[in-house]
Amino acid sequence: MIFRKSTSIHISEHPGHKQLSLFTPPSEYKKPEMVYIPLVEGDPCEAVVAVGDHVLVGQVVAQRKGRFGLPLHASVSGEVTSISKKMWHASGMMVNMIEIKNDFKETLDPSIKPNDVAKLTPSQMIEIVKNCGIVGLGGSGFPTFVKYSSKCEIHTLIVNAVECEPYLTADYVLLKQKTDELIRGIQYAMKMSGASHAYICIKQDKVQAIALLEDHLQDHISIFPVKDVYPAGWEKYLVQRVTNQTYKMLPSEVGVVVNNAATLIAMCAAIEENQPLVEKMVTFTGQGLAHPQNVLVKIGTLANEVIRAIGSYADGVTDANFIVGGPMTGRTLLFDSVVIHRSLGGIVVMPKESSAPALPCMGCGKCVEICPVFLSPVLIKNAVDKKDKDLMIALKADKCMMCGLCSYICPSRIELTDAMSKARATVLKR
Amino acid sequence: MNEQRKFPLGKAPFIRKADSSVSTSRMMRDLLIALLPLVIFAWVKNGLLPFLHGDVGVLGMLYPLLFIAAGALSSMLIEGLYFMIFMKETHVAKRLQESFALIPGLLLAMILPLHTPIWVLILGATFATLVGKLIFGGFGYNLFNPALVGYLFIMTAYYGVIVGNGGYLNASEMTIEAGVTPLTHFFGNPNLDLNAIIAPYGNIGNFLFGLHPGAMAETSAILSMIACVYLIARKVINWRVPVIYLSGVFVLTYIIGAFQGYALDLRFPLFQLFNGGLVFGAVFMATEPVTTPRTPNGKVVFALLLASLTVMLRFTSDMSEGVATSILFLNMLVPLIDRSMAKVRVEGTSRHVIITYCIIGVVLLAIFGFTMMQIGV
């Protein structure tokens, strides 16, 4: 292996995009009439409750199957009214969801009670993290317990508080609100993984958050400032910067565990209180909203309800995109009645960019230069156009991590990222 | 119970650089801005100064500008007619703008000798646009640099006509006793020493500023270099090709010069660097995005091959000007270079990488070795 550091770029477009959701202090929306627990999360999930059952907050309602199996919990107490395809999932499809009618009593499941943290062994902690359904909240939704069950020896914990996706500020707001919990979560994570040192990676321009973190720092935890570039929050980028090493599949190959800051905060609650993942900080932002802000919501809430509660859409914005996720990697949906599942970080409603059609590629090679995984998007796109599967394989289209930089940089507005995802799917299907 | 709002769909990412700063049309505008000083210089050198010296009349003064305009307009006209007749296009003006129709003819006029008859220029611009660009499918699909296709066509078919019409020297340069461009002078008189070669044209500084006989707008190395810096700063071209190409030629010609007894005289490589279309070609032709590699390491390989080929053609063939031929030849290899370099770039295993670069190294050594053998050092 030849070690090369991935490229990155400062996104200078849309100045002030992060500030947009910081004008209004974060709010809460915890009383939805209905919540929907999607029965898909990477793998299919199986419902363990039936229509008509009464469920409590934090009660297991479904189980994700397969190697990454872990439970899904009810986020409100009430009655299961249906299990059907009713509402939109962030994937752009309708999937089966458990519909729970809120009785507004917030009755907690008896399993939610404080743990005697000092007596917990690392393996018990991992079990708790699994049973509380903690997944990566940075967007991947990767089950957290898997990272700590690795057989490799771990020496470093990287806390990802970079949030490089433009517009989104949920992690930043959460980190400022719950700095203590974050530090405790880091300490538990270090205990679970056996890491001797933890680095909190955060963008160097977030001076307030860095100052706050410095006040709370404990032994063996330090701050690792990163540049304001995209994709600085990408796992591989952080591992390269912190350890000067790179890996093929998982960071554990080089003795590193990477966890999102919000995940660690959720993990802290899970280990101390047995609190399952039922609430989540989500950024609702974009020029298309009247009052962009961060909202603490119950998992399974409908996004359009939250948007109506925080002041609806901005006037005069007629031609806007409704983006689930962030503006670089997110997906547009046709309808705003999308269910907030547990790894969804933000909803961005922003006016459509110019819809000028793509020009022919002039071959400047900017997409090749920018690609953080050293792919050649323009050549792969040509292979996709010619349906040349062998070439796609030879050019390793499956390495693409869908960061969106090739389409971002293209001066001719060619949909390279779209072609890359097709090529990636073709190669992976092989 | 739950009213939902409908939204248009789109494709990620939703922030595009093309919308705010670096778009194709802005890049082309920057290219034209970078070419403007060179056009003005061509006019000053070949029209205004001879006019002030009383060597030409008013028409002769305006001639360089008319010449360049004729080149640009004729290639635009050809492409416009093509869109109208063959493509049945309704928005011809828009299509012409999108396909940057004036570039081939404009660049072609800038690299031709002053005394090229206008009809030859128009013929060349037509050939450049039709054969260099349109038969491949138009902008973005051509394999060869259109302007250079037109240039090579003119130089092979009409070189005699151009020489008969007056060749390279403008009215004020007729007094230069050598009577030819410096490169022709250099290769035509292998026994003269460097001082004698440079003497008719003043000193080496004149070559840098471009006050020596040569093609229409490519004589000024310094203006081309300034344009290069501007284009790199505006992210229109990548630094790799011009920088590596020019320094490659400098190093190789220094080695050749050292063998011929000019080891301490940097004027030998500088003479080679500033003369002919080298700097202009490196900045405007070898960076033309459509016909050059997309991959960064491919660009490096392309530039190294260009440097060694240019030096080889200059020192071993009858054509004193190797830039156009070497660029056109390597245009042909771009798909091959790109594909193998893209694989090397994404490949993690070092064996494949080492083998590929070894092959390229051997090719480079072979080309240069052949050159040295031919010179006989």
Residues A124 and A84 in one domain: no
Residue pair B216/B112 in contact by the 8 Å Cβ criterion: yes
Q: Which of A1, A321, A374 sits opposite B7 (nearest CB)?
A: A321
Contact assignment for A412 to B26 by CB distance below 8 Å: no
Contact B312, B253 (CB under 8 A): no
For residue B191, being part of any structural domain is answered with no
B350 near A CB under 8 A: yes
Phi and psi, residue B13, nearest 5°: -80, 160
Of A325, A358, A350, A356, residue with least CA distance to A13: A350
Question: A93-116 burial, b for 16+ CB within 10 Å, e for fewer?
Answer: eebbbbbbebeeeebebeebeeee
Cβ contact A141:A135 at 8 Å: yes
Quick one: closest CA in A to B299, which residue?
A365
B353 and A2 in contact by Cβ < 8 A? Answer: yes
Using an 8 Å Cβ cutoff, are A223 and A217 in contact?
yes
Q: How many domains does chain A divide into?
A: 3
Question: Same structural domain for residues B266 and B364?
Answer: yes
In this structure, the answer to whether residues A48 and A130 fall within a common structural domain is no
What CATH number is attached to the domain comprising A126?
3.40.50.11540
Residue B219 lies in a domain: no
SS3 at position A28: strand
Residue B11 falls within a domain, yes or no?
A: no
CB contact under 8 A, B16 and A413: yes
Total of domains in chain B: 2
Which residue, of B139, B162, B185, is where some domain finishes?
Answer: B162
Closest partner residue to B27 among A14, A378, A411, by Cβ? A411
Long-range contacts of B116-121 (CB under 8 A, 24+ apart): B116/B67, B116/B154, B116/B158, B116/B162, B116/B165, B117/B161, B117/B162, B117/B165, B118/B67, B118/B70, B120/B154, B120/B158, B120/B161, B120/B162, B121/B67, B121/B70, B121/B71, B121/B74, B121/B154
Say yes or no to pLDDT of A74 above 50.
yes
Does residue B141 sit within a domain?
yes
B331–chain A Cβ distance below 8 A for any pair:
no
Query: Are B147 and B260 in a shared domain?
Result: no
Chain B residue with minimum CA distance to A247: B348
Residue span of the structural domain in which A60 resides: 29-110+277-351
* Distance from the Cα of residue B38 to its chain's centroid: 13
Angle at alpha carbon of residue A241, lines to A237 and A246, rounded to 5°:
65
Residues B137 and B247 in one domain: no
The answer to whether residue A22 sits within a structural domain is no
Q: How far apart are the C-alpha atoms of A396 and A392, rounded to whole Å?
A: 6
End-to-end Cα distance, chain A: 25
Above 0.95 for ipTM, yes or no?
no
Q: Residue A239: its pLDDT value, please?
A: 93
B360 and B246 together in one domain? yes
Write down the pLDDT at residue B5: 84
Task: Please tell me whether residues B158 and B256 are part of one structural domain.
Answer: no
Q: Do A49 and A99 share a domain, yes or no? A: yes
Pick the residue from chain A with its C-alpha nearest to B238: A364
Instruction: Give, for all 377 residues of chain B, the pLDDT tens digit.
Output: 467 888 888 888 889 888 877 788 888 899 999 999 999 999 999 999 999 988 888 998 999 999 999 999 999 999 999 988 888 878 888 888 888 889 999 999 999 999 999 999 999 999 999 999 999 988 889 999 999 999 999 998 998 999 888 888 887 777 776 678 888 888 888 777 888 888 888 888 888 988 888 888 888 999 999 999 999 999 999 999 999 999 999 999 999 999 888 888 889 999 989 988 899 999 999 999 999 999 999 999 999 999 999 999 988 886 657 899 999 999 999 999 999 999 998 876 778 888 889 999 999 999 999 999 888 76
Report which secondary-structure segment, H or E, holds A341.
Answer: none
Which domain does B76 fall in, by range?
A: 24-162
Tell me if A5 is assigned to some domain: no
pLDDT in tens, A172-218: 999 999 999 999 999 999 999 999 999 999 999 999 999 999 999 98
Same domain, yes or no, for A106 and A246?
no
pLDDT at B1: 45
- Looking at the partner chain, which of A11, A248, A319 has a beta carbon nearest the beta carbon of B15? A11
Q: Which of A322, A374, A376 sits opposite B294 (nearest CB)?
A: A376
- Shortest distance between the Cα of A387 and any Cα of chain B, in A, equals 16
DSSP-derived secondary structure for B187-236:
HH-TTS-HHHHHGGG--HHHHHHT-SS-STTT--HHHHHHHHHHHHHTTS
In a domain, A412, yes or no: yes
Tell me the shortest Cα–Cα distance from B180 to chain A, in angstroms.
38
Cα B124 to Cα B105: distance, rounded to the nearest angstrom: 8
Same structural domain, B46 and B148: yes
User: B351 touching A, CB under 8 A?
Assistant: no
Q: How many residues does chain A have?
A: 430
